[in-house]
Amino acid sequence: MVKYPAGTLLLTLKIEKGPGKTVSSQLQLALREMILSGRLEPGGRLPSSRTLARELGVSRTTVIDVYERLTAEGLITSKVGAGSFVSTAIGQDLPEEVEGPIEEEDEEPRHTPTLSRALVKASALISERLPHRNRCFTTALPAFDAFPMALWSRLMAKHWRSGRDIVMGYGDPLGYWPLRRAIAAHLRANRGISCEAEQIFVLCGAQEAFQLIGSLFIDPGDKVWFENPGAIGARNSLLASGAELVPLPIDRDGMVIDEGQRLAPDFRLAFVTPMHQQPLGVTMSLKRRFALLRAAERAGAFIVEDDYDGEFYYGKRPLPTLKSIDTKGCVIYVGTFSKTLFPAMRLGYLLAPEPLVGIFEKVVRSYLHGVASNPQVVLADFIEQGHFATHVRRMRKIYAERHQALLSAARKRLDGLLEVVPTSSGLHTIGHLPPGLCEAAVSEAAAEREITAAPIGAFSLTPLDQQGLVLGFSGTPPRDIRAGIDVLGEALESVGSGDAAEARKRAAV
């Protein structure tokens, strides 16, 4: 084989410009092919990046970038001040003759990634979660403006100054023990749940709990009772595990258990948000809670109780959690700090009924690595020193004010356009649209005006009779809520007049 000094050969390279392959990928492929085929002499000097760039009419940055990539592949070596050379190791590793040119790499990956059959089937029903843009009426956002930043920073700084093992080590995959202890104590004192720290598993949010539960307890085709409309994230996780969701309607007492008994008495799991139904805001009545527990006992099913915003109630104390009246160990209780504190912390937890503690422990210890230690240690202090309880009490007042601001502004401005329903707990409520107003169109008109008005249908697996909007109030101060209601009024009017114009056009035809 004829071996060429690099300078002569490289300058004969042809680089095509225009759409298709990038200049850098052409140059990289050509150089690699020349080196591996042995046409460029091992140990030979390559032209300087400046010379090659000038001769080929490409940018010097491109050449430098390609040289760096080939260096990373071990095909080129660089000596400071001396330049770049074809690696001498190449000749030793290569056979005498390399037949034919090295095939160009496809721009696209050659194999099409295939998903599991369960996921392919589920994809038809899986829908994206709603965006969490921090603007008026976005749901699920706590009041960032009222968070005690200075206190949190102090606690954080204290930990960074002490025990490096705690803030830098792997930590216990089940969760930082003082935090598990603090959460259990909080649940006993505030949610009426009798539990021990060993039953608490710290996870990166409630969403991880849903994913874990789906992967551990659901076989493809297992029936899962699911509130309809209901929580989008939990729904997606369960669908992805292969669950066959049984959408159950919600009435003023919560999920309609009789319908579940009729459609799927042999259900494997039920998912509920009893304290503040997501998204309708209904509180599940005590009678329904007992009916659900009895149904689960009969079917040998588990119930996932998602208590995502139940700490915030306005007025009288709320009903007991489902977990607190679960005498047979059917309920897996899931909590999150995304609403009580802030979502960027990515901390939530799962309270396992006693018979499941061993299973969760084994799984988490064997193939999950747990959650970042830093927020856990700070949060443990925050709860143990009483700041959490104080914060929740304070936020309850702030959210009650924001809720009132929403109701009174809506009463004044949205009469006949949207009937906003008062809620007794949580961080959002809903509004019913009058007949003929399309929720998706209103939501779009609101987004154009930089406010959020999520359509209830986005939470639903099947078409709903009633059109309405989900309105978050927790993340926005009262003055901005009042301004937002004016903007929502304009959005509703614009859609209303659009619909009326459309109807007039149709009538004229």
Ligand X SMILES: Cc1ncc(COP(=O)(O)O)c(C=O)c1O
Give the C-alpha separation, 425 to 223, whole Å: 30
* Options 211, 236, 336, 429; binder of ligand X; rule CB under 6 A: 336
**Residues forming beta bridges with residue 223, ordered by sequence position:** 244
Indicate whether 207 belongs to the interface with ligand X (CB under 6 A): yes
**Cα 425 from chain centroid?**
23
**H-assigned helices in 73-163:** 89-93, 117-123, 149-161
Indicate whether 229 belongs to the interface with ligand X (CB under 6 A): no
| Inter-residue contact 485 to 145 (CB < 8 Å) | no
| Inter-residue contact 431 to 413 (CB < 8 Å) | no
| Inter-residue contact 375 to 345 (CB < 8 Å) | yes
Q: Min. distance of Cβ 343 from ligand X in angstroms?
A: 5
Of residues 348 and 375, the one with the C-beta less far from ligand X:
348
Of residues 235 and 268, the one with the C-beta less far from ligand X:
235
Indicate whether 333 belongs to the interface with ligand X (CB under 6 A): no
Of residues 335 and 353, the one with the C-beta less far from ligand X:
335
| Inter-residue contact 376 to 176 (CB < 8 Å) | yes
Of residues 49 and 443, the one with the C-beta less far from ligand X:
443
Of residues 343 and 478, the one with the C-beta less far from ligand X:
343
The H or E element containing residue 41 is: none
Indicate whether 237 belongs to the interface with ligand X (CB under 6 A): no
Query: What is the DSSP track for 148-159?
Result: -HHHHHHHHHHH
**77-85, 112-120, 176-184, 335-343 -> range binding ligand X (CB under 6 A):** 335-343
Indicate whether 206 belongs to the interface with ligand X (CB under 6 A): yes
Indicate whether 228 belongs to the interface with ligand X (CB under 6 A): no
* Options 302, 308, 349, 459; binder of ligand X; rule CB under 6 A: 308
Indicate whether 205 belongs to the interface with ligand X (CB under 6 A): yes
Of residues 305 and 381, the one with the C-beta less far from ligand X:
305
* Options 84, 338, 425, 467; binder of ligand X; rule CB under 6 A: 338
Q: Min. distance of Cβ 347 from ligand X in angstroms?
A: 8
The sign of the torsion formed by the CA atoms of 357, 359, 360, 364 equals positive
Strand 250-251 to strand 254-255: parallel, antiparallel, or no bridges (unpaired)? antiparallel
Indicate whether 231 belongs to the interface with ligand X (CB under 6 A): yes
Query: Helix 177-190 and helix 373-384: axis angle, to 10°?
Result: 40
Of residues 202 and 445, the one with the C-beta less far from ligand X:
202
**4-12, 179-187, 199-207, 216-224 -> range binding ligand X (CB under 6 A):** 199-207
Of residues 26 and 139, the one with the C-beta less far from ligand X:
139
Q: What part of residues 380-419 is at the interface with ligand X (CB under 6 A)?
A: none
Please tell me whether the peptide bond between 477 and the residue prior to it is cis, using omega within 30 degrees of 0: no
Q: What part of residues 270-299 is at the interface with ligand X (CB under 6 A)?
A: 273, 278
Output helix, strand, coil percentages for the chain, rounded to the nearest 5.
Answer: 45, 15, 40
Strand 244-248 to strand 250-251: parallel, antiparallel, or no bridges (unpaired)? unpaired
Q: What part of residues 342-371 is at the interface with ligand X (CB under 6 A)?
A: 343, 348
The backbone torsions φ and ψ at residue 227, rounded to the nearest 5 degrees and listed phi first, read -60, 135
Give the C-alpha separation, 120 to 239, whole Å: 10
Mark residues 136-155: x for contact with ligand X by CB under 6 A, - for none: ----x---------------
Indicate whether 467 belongs to the interface with ligand X (CB under 6 A): no
Q: Min. distance of Cβ 19 from ligand X in angstroms?
A: 42
Give the C-alpha separation, 237 to 240, whole Å: 5
Whole-angstrom CA distances from 28 to 31, 46, 104, 107, 489 are 5, 13, 10, 13, 58
**203-211, 368-376, 468-476, 492-500 -> range binding ligand X (CB under 6 A):** 203-211
Of residues 85 and 176, the one with the C-beta less far from ligand X:
176
Buried b (16+ CB within 10 A) or exposed e, 126-148: eeeebeeeebbbbbbbbbeebee
Of residues 85 and 360, the one with the C-beta less far from ligand X:
360
Tokens describing residue 15 = 């680089």
**161-169, 286-294, 336-344, 445-453 -> range binding ligand X (CB under 6 A):** 336-344
Question: Taking CB positions, which residue lies at the least distance from ligand X?
Answer: 205
Binding site for ligand X (CB under 6 A): 140, 205-207, 231, 273, 278, 306, 308, 336, 338, 343, 348
